Structure 1
Amino acid sequence: MEQFFSTFSAWTIWTPELIVVLMFLSALYFIIIGPLRHKFPDAERVSTRRKVYFHLGLIAVYFGFGGPLYVLGHLMLSMHMLSMAIVYLIAPPLLLLGIPSWFFKIFTKFKVIRGIFLVVGYPILGLVLFNAMFSFYHMPNTFDTLLTNEGWHNLYQLGMLFAAILMWWHLTPRLETRYELSELKKIGYMFANGVLITPACALIIFAGSPLYATYTDPSTWAVAISYCLPAGADIPFEMFSGEQALTPLSPLHDQQLGGALMKVIQELVYGVAIGYVFKAWMNRDKSSRTEVEFKSYEMVQPNSQ
Structure 2
Amino acid sequence: MPISIFGFEALWSPWYFGFLVLVTLLYFGVTVKWRDKFADNEPLQPKQAVLFVSGILLLYILKGSPIDLMGHIIFTMHMVQMAFLLLLVPPLLIMGIPAYVWRAFIELPVVKPLFMFFTKPMLALLLFSLFFSLYHLPLVFDFVKQDVLIHGLVSNLLFVSAILYWWPIVNNLEGMHKFHGLKKLSYLFGLSVLMTPACALIIFSTGPFYATYSDGEAWLQAMALCVPAGTLAQLNLTGPELFTNMSTIEDQRTGGIVMKVIQELVFTVFIWLVFHEWLKNETANADDITAKVLQDRKDMAYHRHNG
Q: TM-score if structure 1 supplies the norm length?
A: 0.90
2: CA distance, partners of 1:111 / 1:35: 25
Task: Give the aligned CA root-mean-square deviation in angstroms.
Answer: 1.9
Displacement, 1:12? 1.0
Change (3 A) 1:109 1:208: closer
Match 1:263 to one of 241, 260, 264: 260
1:46 match: 44
**Secondary structure of the corresponding residue to residue 59 of structure 2:** helix
C-alpha deviation, 1:291, in angstroms:
3.9
Provide, for residues 97-132 of structure 1, a one-character-per-residue CA deviation record: whole Å limited to 9, x for no partner.
111112122245445433223311211111011111
Does structure 1 retain, via aligned residues, the 8 Å contact 2:125–2:165? yes
2:270 is the counterpart of 1:277: no
Q: Distance in 2 between matches of 1:70 and 1:217?
A: 20
Cα displacement (A) at 1:149: 1.2
Assess, with a 3 A threshold, how the Cα gap between structure 1 residues 289 and 54 changes in structure 2: closer, same or farther.
Answer: same
Q: Which moved more, 1:179-188 or 1:189-198?
A: 179-188
Partner of 1:251: 248
How many residue pairs get aligned? The number is: 292
Taking structure 2 as the reference length, what is the TM-score of the superposition?
0.89
Query: Quick one: distance in 1 between partners of 2:289 and 2:64?
Result: 52
Distance (Å, rounded) in 2 between the aligned partners of 1:112 and 1:145:
32
In the TM superposition, residue 41 of structure 1 has moved relative to its aligned partner by 2.1
Give the CA deviation at 1:168. 0.5
Matched residue, 2:3: 4
> Cα distance, 1:227 vs. partner?
3.0
List alignment gaps of at least 5 residues for structure 1: 298-305
Q: Deviations over 1:126-162 (max 9, x none)?
A: 1011111110011011111111111101110000000
Matched ranges for 1:107-118 at <5 A = 107=105, 109-118=107-116
Aligned counterpart, 2:237: 237
Contact 1:50–1:98 (CA<8 Å) still a contact in 2?
A: yes
Alpha-carbon distance in structure 1 between the residues aligned to 2:129 and 2:236:
35
> Match of 2:157?
159
Q: Which consecutive unaligned segments of at least 5 residues does structure 2 have?
A: 295-307
For 2:278 and 2:14, the matched residues in 1 are separated by 42
Moved more, 78-87 or 178-187: 178-187
Equivalence for 2:80: 82
Deviations 1:69-115 (A, max 9, x none): 11111110001111111211110011111111121222454454332
Map 1:184-263 to 2 at 5 A.
184-232=182-230, 233-238=233-238, 240-241=240-241, 245-263=242-260
Is contact 2:132–2:158 with CA below 8 Å preserved after alignment?
Answer: yes
CA distance in 2, matches of 1:182, 1:192: 16
Shift of 1:235: 4.5
The 4+ residue runs of structure 1 with deviation greater than 6 A are 294-297
- 1:182-240 alpha-carbon deviations (Å, 9 max, x no partner): 22221100000100011111111110111111111111112112333323323442553
Structure 2 distance, partners of 1:146, 1:41, is 42
2:179 aligned counterpart, secondary structure: coil
Q: Which amino acid aligns with 1:257?
A: T
Counterpart of 1:184, as a letter, is L
Moved more, 37-46 or 226-235: 226-235
Distance, in Å, in 2 between the alignment partners of 1:286 and 1:81 is 40
Q: Which amino acid aligns with 2:100?
A: W
